[in-house]
Amino acid sequence: MTAKSSAPVCSVDVDGSNETQRMQQQAFAFSPAMAGFMLFLSGAAALIFQVLWIKQLSLVTGVDVHAVSAGVSAFFLGLALGSFALGRFGDRARRPLRLYALLEIGVALSGVVVTFALARIAPLFVAIEASLPIAAWAMLILLVAARAFLMGGTLPVLLRALETSPGGVGAKGGRLYAANTLGAIVGCLAVSFVIIPALGVQATGLAAAALGLSAAAIALSRGSTSATRASEALPATSIGEGGSRLALALYALAGGVALGYEVAWSQAIVQFISTRSFAFSVVLATYLAGLALGAALFARRTDRLADPWTTFGLLITAAGLVALFELAVLGTWLTAWQTNAEAAVAAMTGSIFAGMFARFVVAALTIVFIPTLILGAAFPVALRLAVNPAHIGRDTGRVLAFNTLGGIAGTLVTGFLLIPTLGIIRSFAILAVIAAAIGLVAIGRGKGSGLAGPRLAVPVLGALTLLLAVLVPSDRLANLLTTARSDGTIVSYEEGLGATVAVIEQGQADRRFRRLYIQGVSNTGDAMPSLRYMRLQALLPLIIHKGEPKSALVVGLGTGITAGSLLAYPGLDHRVAAELLPSVARATSLFAGNYNAAKDPRLEIRLRDGRRELLRSQERYDLITLEPPPPSAAGVVNLYSSDFYRLARDRLGENGMVAQWLPIATQNDEDTRSLVKSFLDTFPEVTLWSTELHEMLLVGSRERQEIDATRIANRMKERSIAAALGEVGISSPADLLATWMMDRSGLERYVGSALPVTDDQPRIEYASWVRPDDLQRTLPALIALRTELPLPAADPATKTSIAEAHNRLLLFYQASLNAYAGYRTEWARDMEPLMRAEPANPYYRWFVSSSQR
């Protein structure tokens, strides 16, 4: 029997006409539209809390794929258990609106508690983990899961409150699911684009709580008329085809497929977008929008379906096929579409940021939207099949719980097993084949005999899925990456745990170099400019150190050039490099200029997030040099905040130094000022050095830094040090000291009124898109503020040599700024005397050769 609608069932007069009249008054007082608005607020609050907690967990455990996955799984586990248990409890509640209000109040209050607790729990976590790691992780998981438990009960309880309103379970549930997901979309975009940038992390938790409390207030205002009958009073004849356990099982598998897609998409799409939080928010919002729109559109048809099993099977199978097909046909056409959209939007709005936003949206719509639209349409059909109208709250909770549990399994299996073992394309293929198998099982329960119409479509689509899974080459994404960089050839490509890592060789035949791409985005390489700043990143602070440095830590292995430069300093006894991604450590041996660091026993490589390394280890170092990815990348701001700098400062030995890479070409001037402000707030002694045209180096310490020209000259007589620096254009102590820019007084003038970057105010991560000419703004501003190099004991000849070397460096910078502005004649005019003065300087010669291509 097909249950076409639950409305006639719910209006059965059990207790007489007064009961019927009371229920009609309730339906008038509390409408599905009002319920949808409440779940919209609830969805926005839930997504904001989810983003906040995962972000905060990375500060406690480090930005490690295992740690982040544990946090995500804990959140979804809480949701699943809450849906299962509270949905059942909701069926027994005579006032489900009041129960819903209590849940929202509980979510809001406990959410604030979790947000504030996670901001302060790191020391406790580290202390417990040292002796009882299971207990430490259990504490974090319970902290997140217990609060998410309350969130999981909101939708089934509210659906129970609507049992007297017109429409079937599938239609009402689909609309509520769509409203809840729409709220999540708004929360997803608002948290990255507006709320965190404006309020900071902890105040954002308060804002999310306010949304939940608003939903609770609406529920309480309608609660006085919300009493309902117990569901058990409904006659057995009302059950129809709902309550299918097979539907629960299949939708759980579908949840695993859907979340598996999300994991795989996050790596597949990134080469077409960016590693910034904004880009990932757009992709997630597109994913949620597809689910919401699909559920909303199909909810209207669900109760009229003659064969919901076949429809369910067709939708799940089609989603898998479309997801795989989209990857199969990806090509340079997508990049062209993105470029055209970016140009059009930027021209209309005058905003670089709006143009980049359009670029992200085009990629997300092309790759993510259609499959999720189809998956979203399957939700109301699953409700129709799996929910017994006599137990709306219980069965809706089961659907959500099983789907969420399946999603957890799909996330973990895809992220930790499929992608590392088989790669992204083969992972998509397996997920699509599983979706086809779900469809075949579903049509087996459908009505009628034989294969005709939609029933025939399912095996046909399944066969096409299997064929496509075999035909699509596993190196599809690698080829797309190299195609997008027309002058490059791939050297290495690995789709590993948490990220894709590629090494691509680029440049002209007479001047080839290799570049490291993480998640499709260039991080660094072994071209001369990179080689120069990374050699100085390690050697400059060691050479100017007023003690006798014996130990050093590099945060961020990358190409291995900075860590390898430690090998050129003979006085070190202990050298450590912390690297998050094992695939990066494996790629290090492919780069020139790092002295084969990855295989040298004198360097210990620890596969650990830099923050986690400093949290867990009590070792002290004479130098900690920080070279993580650019600070605008998602999660990387954890290694640029005042809180992190204090952590690094506390791991310094006597006279120890922290050296911070300061990129001035990949962020706006105001963001550079904020980053410098964070450093100044942490270290009483700070100096700035210019390690390359595009890069600076901040050196901070607790003790006064003494620049001793004699000590520096003696250290540079070491053959290994002289050779390492000579290869990048530093052939004398004067060349090294010529890179001096300023002391603390100059930096304070540069910073002005800029606010610092902190864990609570991660402003750089959410900064505006980089303006194309900002190097031409930042570099001159820093040069203009240069202070005199303090060399009280140096002889006049030494000071003269340093001044001459500095003037040559400034001449090169001026020439380069002219080149960036398009003044090629002025560039050539300035470079001519520079090359006469230093014809053999490999750094200057590299740019001259590059300009002649």
Helices and strands (H, E) in the chain, number of each type: 36, 12
Q: What is the DSSP string of 333-359?
A: HHHHHHHHHHHHHHHHH--HHHHHHHH
**For position 852, what pLDDT does the model report?**
52
With tokens 């599905």, the residue in question is: 32
User: Is 299 a residue whose pLDDT tops 50?
Assistant: yes
Q: Determine the average pLDDT of the residues in 790-798.
A: 87
Count of other CB atoms within 10 angstroms of residue 800 = 12
Instruction: Please state the three-class secondary structure of 113-142 as a single string.
Output: HHHHHHCCCHHHHHHHHHHCHHHHHHHHHH
> Which one-letter DSSP state was computed for residue 789?
P
Question: pLDDT of 537-591, one tens digit each?
Answer: 999 999 999 999 999 999 999 999 999 999 999 999 999 999 989 999 999 999 9
**For position 608, what pLDDT does the model report?**
87
Residue 581 · residue 499 · CB < 8 Å: yes
Reported confidence tier of residue 276, pLDDT bands at 50, 70, 90: confident
Q: Which of 482-491, 550-559, 755-764, 770-779 has the lowest mean pLDDT?
A: 482-491
d(CA 525, CA 772): 21
Give, in order, the Cα–Cα distances in Å from 376 to each of 12, 255, 294, 331, 634.
32, 11, 4, 27, 28
Residue 305 · residue 311 · CB < 8 Å: yes
Cβ-based neighbours of 94, under 8 Å, separated by 6 or more = 227, 228, 229, 230
Q: Which of 610-624, 627-641, 669-683, 749-763 has the lowest mean pLDDT?
A: 627-641
Residue 188 · residue 284 · CB < 8 Å: yes
In percent, how much of the chain has pLDDT > 70? 92
Q: Which of 135-139, 173-177, 482-486, 687-691 has the lowest mean pLDDT?
A: 482-486
Reported confidence tier of residue 644, pLDDT bands at 50, 70, 90: very high
CB contact burial 557-575 (16+ within 10 A = b; e otherwise): bbbbbbbbbbbbbeebeeb
In percent, how much of the chain has pLDDT > 90? 53
550: which 2 tokens? Answer: 């014996």
Q: 552: which strand partners? A: 575, 623
d(CA 616, CA 277): 27
Question: pLDDT of 439-488, one tens digit each?
Answer: 999 988 877 555 567 788 899 999 999 999 999 988 888 888 887 665 67
Q: 500: which strand partners? A: 495
Question: pLDDT of 134-157, one tens digit each?
Answer: 898 889 888 888 888 988 888 888
State in Å, rounded, how far the first CA of the chain is from the last one.
Answer: 77
Q: Determine the average pLDDT of the residues in 284-298.
A: 90
Residue 267 · residue 419 · CB < 8 Å: yes
Q: Determine the average pLDDT of the residues in 690-716.
A: 94
CB contact burial 736-752 (16+ within 10 A = b; e otherwise): bbbbbbbbbebbeebbe
Residue 232 · residue 392 · CB < 8 Å: no
Instruction: Please state the three-class secondary structure of 461-477 as a single string.
Output: HHHHHHHHHHHCCCCHH
The amino acid present at 496, given as its one-letter code, is G
Q: Which of 239-248, 510-519, 524-533, 810-819 has the lowest mean pLDDT?
A: 239-248
